[in-house]
Amino acid sequence: MPWVPQHEDDFPTLGWTVADQMATYLGRPDAGDDDIFDPFILTVEQQEFLNELYRLDPRTGRRLIHRGSLIRPRGWGKSPFVGGIMISEAIFDVVPDGWDADGQPVAKPWSKVRTPYVAIAAVTEEQTKNTWEPLLEMLRQGSAVDEFNLDPMDSFVALERGRIVPITSSPNSIKGFKAVAASLDQTETWVKGNGGVKLAQTLRNNATKLGGVTIETPNAYTLGERSVAEASFEFWADIRSGKYTNLEDVRSIYFDHRPAPPDTRIDDMDSLVHGLRIAYGDSSGHPDGCLLHDPPCEPGWFDVHRGALDFFDTANDPAVMRADFLNQIDAARDAYVSDPEIRACIDTTKVVGPREPVTLGFDGSEGRKDKHIADTTVLIGYSVTQRHFFRIGIWEQPDGPRGEGWRPPKVEIEQAVAKAFRDYNVVGYYADPSAGWAGEVKQWEASHHKRLKAKMSVQEPIRWRQKDVTRTCETFDQLYSAIRQVEVTFDGDPTLIQHFLNARRDPRRAGYVLKKADDNQDYGKIDATYGCMFAFAAGTDALGKGVTANTTRRMPRQLR
């Protein structure tokens, strides 16, 4: 019979079954008295993650999620939780096996399908201990060893069929080891230089071949380091942006990241405690429990007040503290903006009307050169009165074979510019004429110069003066100041936001311009930052020309 929902918003999952098996056979690590069995019981949010991880397709009964990412702060409890999931993949009922007489999912262990090998992976032996040591403790304190005939040795766990093994990025440790499940710990440190990128790819490929699952457990990563955690976050952002709407399989990733609010102040105790409670969720030790659920959960194990005090210790690096405890994605030292700064400016509720003054910013690309990925072409709008940036058009080189020989669609882009002038009260438009767009800029100047209040010059009202580095430096600095003080807002377009997070400061005598990260020239695009800067400069000039909220739109004269 088909699946039968039990309540509104119900979905089929093996999460409840797996949690019951954990509580029955596994002991809680660091339980204290060895003579008393203390079962491993999940918190509410851990159960929610498990239910999503083991979500099933109600039509076919197959598992939907093949890849998970759980980003939580230090001390939240990621390691024992994921250790429990890896034990479950090794011995418990996790392979879907249809529906029972009540229309509820049933399952069988991997050993009924193939030999289960499970990997506890990290880039160093010391890192593997984060998950490996609590995993052994959970087995040794519970009844799973006797019930499933296991031998939990220090170097591996022998199953009746298969084994659980800690592995590192050493080629010898992963060669031929095809795991049905793998935990990838601290992937914010997995980079190309230490073999982490290759290790992650190998584990995912093996899981794909076998129909298995991989789970990342990073702490908040540093932007621009090109870690495995950062690449996973970007993949998730692409999915949310609708980039893969025609590919159902890419939705098989479950991404769970809950940072402290962007406006959390680390110099204010109340704000800091609130931010820590949000980031730590059920694990936050507070008399009222976790306020993320109604009713509140039981008090957890992390003392948020004690954790907050460490932020005031001047010996601690604030950026590291934000990443480790507030779960906020950190910026590289030369980053233009931080993740909390730019996300604090996102406002998806603003609507730009046809009469309010708007400026445009354009940065173009000439397309793919040799084997390098082409720069992005962007057209950004900026409401002068609302101080609000919004995407009009972003044109990027497609992935894969479709990107071979790619050139930006100039006709489509020219139509987008013309439509922007029809739809909005455009009072200024600054554009970079380089990269093959000089002719188009000249044409835009000829067509629209009479409407523009803000002009670079009388002769060339749209063309941005590339040699005026001082103006570029000053404008980027003014824009950053506005972002830091939340004096401007963004529509939340994920590509636009990512370009800001990719941008690095490149010092000049007059200040700084923006550049790509030195080790990420192909994929760390920043073109939208220049589009926003041009639009912002035009908006500033428009205000200087007296453009106000009462400016009325001059409609094009109609031919009779």
Q: Over the stretch 331-358, which tens digit does the pLDDT of each residue have?
A: 677 889 988 889 899 999 999 999 999 9
Range 241-270 average pLDDT = 80
Quick one: pLDDT at residue 2? 86
Residue 368: per-residue pLDDT: 58
Mean per-residue pLDDT, 48-71: 94
**pLDDT the model gives residue 293:** 66
Three-state SS for 168? Answer: coil
Which of 187-196, 237-246, 266-275, 424-433 is predicted with the least confidence, judged by mean pLDDT? Answer: 237-246
Contacts of 210 (CB under 8 A, 6+ apart): 114, 178, 179, 180
- C-alpha pair distances (Å), 421 with each of 266, 326, 452: 44, 43, 10
pLDDT at residue number 520: 55
Count CA atoms within 13 Å of residue 385 on its CB side. Answer: 18
What are residue 377's DSSP bridge partners? 395
Judged against a pLDDT cut of 90, whether residue 9 lies above it is answered with: no
Instruction: Return the pLDDT at 183.
Output: 96
Return the amino acid letter for 409.
Answer: P
Mean pLDDT over all residues of the chain? 88
Amino acid in the structure at residue 226: R
- Residue range 437-446: mean pLDDT, rounded: 95
**Whole-number pLDDT of residue 90:** 97
CA atoms of 426 and 392, how far apart (whole Å): 13
**Equal CATH topology for 64-94+110-257 and 357-544:** no
pLDDT band (50, 70, 90) for residue 292: low
pLDDT category at 557 given cuts 50, 70, 90 is very low
pLDDT band of 560, cuts 50, 70, 90: very low
Q: How far is 75 from 306, CA to CA, in rounded Å?
A: 13
Q: Are strands 163-167 and 157-158 parallel, antiparallel or unpaired?
A: antiparallel
The CATH number of 357-544 is 3.30.420
Residue 153 DSSP one-character state: -
Does the pLDDT at position 471 exceed 70?
yes
Domain positions in the chain: 64-94+110-257, 269-330, 357-544
The pTM for the full model equals 0.70
Q: What is the pLDDT of residues 345-402, one digit of tens each?
A: 999 999 999 999 999 999 998 865 655 678 899 999 999 999 999 999 999 988 777 7
Cis peptide bond N-terminal to 295, omega within 30: yes
pLDDT in tens, 304-317: 888 899 999 888 87
Annotation: CATH topology of 64-94+110-257: Rossmann fold (3.40.50)
pLDDT bucket at 415, cuts 50 / 70 / 90: very high
Q: Is the pLDDT of residue 104 over 70?
A: yes
How far lies 285's CA from each of 209, 219, 299, 303, 454, in Å? Answer: 42, 20, 5, 5, 56
Please write the tens of the pLDDT for every residue from 498-537.
899 889 999 999 999 999 876 555 557 899 999 999 999 9
- Averaged pLDDT, 240-258: 74
What whole-number distance in Å separates Cα of residue 118 and Cα of residue 94? Answer: 13
- Grade residue 34 by pLDDT with cuts at 50, 70 and 90: low
Hey, how many other C-beta atoms are within 10 angstroms of the C-beta on 466? 11
**DSSP bridge partners of 70:** 256
User: 361 with 532: CB under 8 angstroms?
Assistant: yes
Q: Cα–Cα distance between 398 and 389 in angstroms, integer?
A: 25
Q: Give the pLDDT of residue 286.
A: 65
Residue 166 has pLDDT above 80, yes or no: yes
Four-CA torsion 174, 176, 181, 186, nearest 10 degrees: 10
- The closest alpha carbon to 132, from 163, 172, 174, 164, belongs to 164
